[in-house]
Amino acid sequence: MAAIAIATEDLHKTYSNGGKAVKAVRGISLTVQEGESFGLLGPNGAGKSTTFGMLTTRVKPTSGSMRVAGADPVADPTEVKRRIGAVTQQNTLDRQLTALENLEFRGRFAGLSARAARARGRELLDRFGLGDRSDAMVHRLSGGQAQRVMIARALLTRPAILFLDEPTSGLDPQTRVNLWELLREMHAEGQTIVLTTHYLEEAEALCERIAVVDHGTMLASGSQDELKTREGGDAVVTLVHEPGAELTGLLGTAQRIPGVSRAESEGATLRVYTGDVEGVVPAVLRASLDAGLFVLDVAVRRPSLETVFLALTGREYRE
Ligand SMILES: Nc1ncnc2c1ncn2[C@@H]1O[C@H](COP(=O)(O)OP(=O)(O)OP(=O)(O)O)[C@@H](O)[C@H]1O
């Protein structure tokens, strides 16, 4: 069995914002195995960056405990930093230096000889398709190139865990897909990867295991299949009615339709969860018409991370 890379127990973080307490993280317990690619998925403000900050020593938890790469980020932050590589949301490259110099500098700081740091820097830039950009000043790099240099820099000291906070936020779709490819390669070579993302598609593309977070708590965690089976095994049928439609009666009827495991309404939208799409769609449409309602749109979503989020929160996922 693989060793444990990360274990957290009931992590909390409360910020004080002008005297007001902001409970950003409210009890996160998770385990990541070595070699895994693990994602913290949730909408903006869910507490992902705060959790990322605690795991990577930048944010001190209010309470709870954790082990990261065999050390304690609170008691021994220097040791944790030595063992991990972290890529934050901001561009933290030194703008006075070239791409290669940024890498060399990190290598020297970590105790490599000048020669070793330069060689490893070159190797990584080549690997990341940036061999011809090694002498470019940082401000000349595109967003995607800068992000790759930051990942290369984080990998320079062969970290036990590579942490990435929203790795493709703000990148164009093609650059995003290229970066996914790179991260998949790293992972195939055994690199443990922990990332945060608010893109369902990114979590789906990159993460073997996912923790779904919202409002500072972890709603569920598991492999994608586990989550889909456990939390969102049903397809979701959505009926959108004219604005202002009153759905109370319809909701009751929908809940009694055979094959419907759950029904809920949000404004003029009715959602039913079912394993029997073919049987339920006509029945629920009929119920809607019988209730004198006008249906604007019908949509069926097969089990996915989107339906998992819906099932967990009763809300549509908005990226
Ligand atoms: N330094 C801080 N001081 C006060 N409140 C903070 C601070 N950092 C974050 N918060 C608040 O904590 C909550 C969680 O923020 P956090 O950045 O961890 O979420 P997130 O899921 O990473 O979202 P995003 O993707 O927008 O960064 C938010 O309500 C945010 O406003």
What's the 176 CA to ligand 1 centre distance in angstroms?
Answer: 24
Residue 203 pLDDT: 95
User: Which mutation among 16, 22, 62, 217 tests ligand 1's pocket best, with the greatest number of atoms within 8 A of CB?
Assistant: 22
Which parts of the chain register pLDDT below 50?
Answer: none
Residue 1 pLDDT: 56
DSSP state, 143?
Answer: H
Measured between alpha carbons, how far is 176 from 24 in angstroms, rounded to an integer? 28
What's the 230 CA to ligand 1 centre distance in angstroms?
Answer: 29
Task: Say if the ipTM goes beyond 0.90.
Answer: yes
Residue 316 pLDDT: 79
Residue 303 pLDDT: 85
Residues with CB under 6 A from ligand 1: 15, 17, 22, 24, 42, 44-50, 198
Q: Which residues neighbour 241 within 8 Å (Cβ) at sequence distance 6 or greater? A: 247, 268, 269, 270, 288, 293, 294, 295, 296
Residue 24 pLDDT: 96
Residue 302 pLDDT: 87
Nearest CA, atom 1, ligand 1 = 15
What's the 29 CA to ligand 1 centre distance in angstroms?
Answer: 18
Say what angle helices 99-109 and 114-127 make with each other, to 10 degrees.
130
Q: How far is CA 318 from the centre of its chain?
A: 14
CA distance between the termini of the chain: 36
What's the 47 CA to ligand 1 centre distance in angstroms?
Answer: 6
Residue 307 pLDDT: 86
For the CA of 17, the closest atom of ligand 1 is 4
Nearest CA, atom 23, ligand 1 = 45
Residue 172 pLDDT: 87
**Residue 132: left if φ>0, alpha if ψ -120 to 50, beta else—which one?**
alpha
Measured between alpha carbons, how far is 273 from 238 in angstroms, rounded to an integer? 9
For the CA of 196, the closest atom of ligand 1 is 22
Residue 317 pLDDT: 80
For the CA of 23, the closest atom of ligand 1 is 12
What's the 78 CA to ligand 1 centre distance in angstroms?
Answer: 24
Residue 163 pLDDT: 98
